[in-house]
Structures are given as C-alpha cells and as structure tokens.
Amino acid sequence: MQLPDNAGSLKVLLGKSGELVSPVKTFLNEFNYHVKLNPKSSFSYSTKPDLEYAVFVPTGEIHINDEVTGKSHLLIFSNDCATIHLYNPGIVEAHAFIFGGGEYTEPIVAEGPFVMNSSREIIQAYDDFFEDAYGAITMNANN
C-alpha cells in the first residue's frame, strides 16, 4: 500500500491493516508491518488501545514520536500512545517494522528451543523430541 503524500509504502507481513490482510492466521490480533519511508518523509499510524505496539528500526535512522532511533533499535509503546509518528530525516529510503498484538496473559516458560506454558510441558516437549514424535527432516537425493 502506498502511503499518503508519496511518503513510501506499508506492506502487511502478518495481520491486517485496513483492506490489506495477510494469509497467515493469527490468534491474538498479531500484526507486523514493513514500512518503507522515502527521504524527508513522514507517516503517522493510529493505534488501538486494546493492542500492544513496538517499532523496530533495522538500519539507518528514523525519528519516532520525536525520538531519534538508530540502527537495530526497538521501541516499545505504552497503551496510552494513540499515534506512532515516523519521520525519515535522511537522504535515502528508511525501513521500520511496526508490530504487536493483543496482550498475552498466559504464563511463558522457555528452555532450549521450546516455549510452553509450564515446566511440565517443557519436560513433555523434550520427551516427545527424543522419541521422534515431531517427525524427521529428510533429504531428497535429487536436490
């Protein structure tokens, strides 16, 4: 989707924005948008109070709500932030990812490659893994 005033573009990677909808199923209104901002351009994104928001800037420098944000920086917004305003002060295209979703309220336990809701579920995941319950990756001899 082209941004107003030739400011750049917004691509929906996950979730939906207006008429744009990703084919990936979501469960808590998760979303991830790739914003490309043209030089000396700005874009304002209106938030919803029931969702959590963050912005990741992988390269370059962007001003986000008047705060200078540099390469590989993540900003997390409070629920009272009504608008996320992005401005590219540079002379080359800048990139940002706006992402978030509904609040996740279940407990989270992470160990190794597994993320579950309890230590008991982590133990079961390891047992399943070592019993080959997750299947196997095989190589095709023609590739």
Structure tokens, 27: 């469960």
Q: Work out the percent of the chain whose per-residue pLDDT is above 70.
A: 98
The predicted structure's pLDDT at residue 39: 96
pLDDT in tens, 27-68: 888 999 999 999 999 999 999 988 999 999 998 899 999 899
Residue with tokens 């991830």: 32
pLDDT band at 128 (very low <50, low <70, confident <90, very high): very high
3-state SS of 55-86? EEECCCCEEECCEEECCCEEEEECCCCCEEEE
Which residue from 141, 37, 51, 139 is spatially nearest to 85, judged by alpha carbons? Answer: 37
- Per-chain mean pLDDT for the chain: 90
pLDDT in tens, 94-121: 999 999 998 888 899 999 889 999 999 9
- What H or E segment, with its residue span, contains residue 120? helix 119-130
